[in-house]
Structure 1
């Protein structure tokens, strides 16, 4: 089925949901009149605030809940939690799509997998458990923590695959888990952090396959890499992705940096329609041997919520954190200051930590310019950064 036909079928489903029916009416749009992707791009966006407000209603009052729901996970929103609903069909679809990516990762049903993600309330542990069982692999739900016991179980059972956040995986690898040949990582920025994959491989002290994923509680999966190491492939049989200008909301061409917008293609409970993720990314078309094409080369590279325009260029301060993760001697405690001197924007970065020498400082400066397209006029490292906002825009007298 072509993507437009899939979207049209999903819109027929959404029209039966009060939450979306009201949004269509408020925007004076007819979902039945969507006859092209250009028509689809004129449908209203869904925002996290509005969507979560509906989800936080009791099930009897929430139109995103259906009687067919069989699993309820939760996701944090500030100090609160909101539920994430799945029907049996939703779970089966999720597992089927993931099974294709497991095959592309090089797994076989003969593999045994240790999962160290959490299993309480949140979705990550059960997300891996379900797809791996559907695929036919053998799964050990280790859960997080207790590294010594985890290492013993992995070695006693000769576990071949590990699903873990990268930090914990390195901790286990340093204690010795020689049977593991494939690592699924998540829960932390990984592909977007220069040098991190190499650091993890160094901890294992051998060549292993590392599979990175990008998901969020409301939409799992979204993208996952494969054994060919060609970026994170979008699960385009599960979600339809757009990249839009964070300012105007206008769709951007493939290859341009912007905000990721997602639409479920088959979801029954709590389906997303043109959901603004707030995540900054780039989509490219890369033909891969695994059969996928639409790819996120660097996964997520920042957040769109606090965009600034500097020297005529759009700048997202959260990109700085992603870049700093590549420098172990620097912390993520930093401050970006923007000022205007004689009408010319000036950009300053102050960060806790230290750099080895001028060569490393130059590497950081070039790295920042490459990723943000902006030259930082001043980069300073300090032993201790005074408490205060992470971004100060003196031009407009605001900070956050």
Structure 2
């Protein structure tokens, strides 16, 4: 009996496939960006032996990630690229490799904290770079950077505050404003764009987010970003920029400690292929979820409701609601969405939500007052029928 109980607990705690019906597209707790069909296929195809560090033409050894050089050059115009395991690692590695023992000038309003109490000032300390903060929380000017530059300055750093917004009486220079200053004084211009966008998301009716291409075109020497946010790929940190700086970062001993594995490389390669083919908006789930029309969501909701059918112990309604981007991207942006609103007279919303999370088909929704909401915007269309089955399974067991 005790063994069975432990086995049941272990089963509940295992990494499991989950339907994300929370309405948070990039849900950090659920793995942020869901991978495309091609990326998931690549994980299986390349899970055995593959040319991770071998040049198949020469049979010689090459650095990990060399397969993506041409792809990133085509997509962004960069000279060189290095992929590490996340953007925090990219930041730490870049600062340690290029700026240790010297000052990095950064606006006080860009000293961010993200999930898990990751604070940029602490990364500076760990890297050995000297933090030189300037300006105020809401206003920083180019002249503040100018005054802070000394013979001991290694770089000026611009960080996009992707998980919060400062509104009202505020001003901060863009990377376009900082590059000329960096050139004039012979220091490195580093730009952390955060969400890692490769296309202009305003085409989906969203506020503008910086892209790798824009930063490189502005003249940034090194550009950092995440792979599992607006790019829509696997978790990784992307370092793009001029060859002389990226190569210095690549040769640093810490680069070995934060390098990616073959599965991340495989998924990222498949994701980028969709961008190369001009098919990203259709094939990459994150972009599809952000761009899907409200009419399409409503049609899917009707189909799911039909599949659930009439249940004596549950009321199912289709309603309009708002969803979020999540993942520390586009804070405050509300996405119109369509939800299935579930209410049962026999069990509470908490019990129903728990039943969905722990059922044979795992579903994470959200609770609003006495209802469980299942948001179609964050659900993969391929999971619609499974979502209906999950609801039926939980409620027919009551």
Report the structure, 1 or 2, having the larger helix content. Answer: 2
Structure exhibiting the larger radius of gyration computed from Cα positions? 2
Report the structure, 1 or 2, having the larger strand content. Answer: 1
Higher RCO structure, 1 or 2 (CA under 8 Å, sep 6+): 2
Do both proteins adopt the same fold according to a TM-score greater than 0.5, normalized to the shorter chain? Answer: no
Query: Which TM-score tier does this pair reach, normalised by the shorter chain?
Result: 0.3 to 0.5
TM-score w.r.t. the length of structure 2 is 0.34
TM-score w.r.t. the length of structure 1 is 0.34
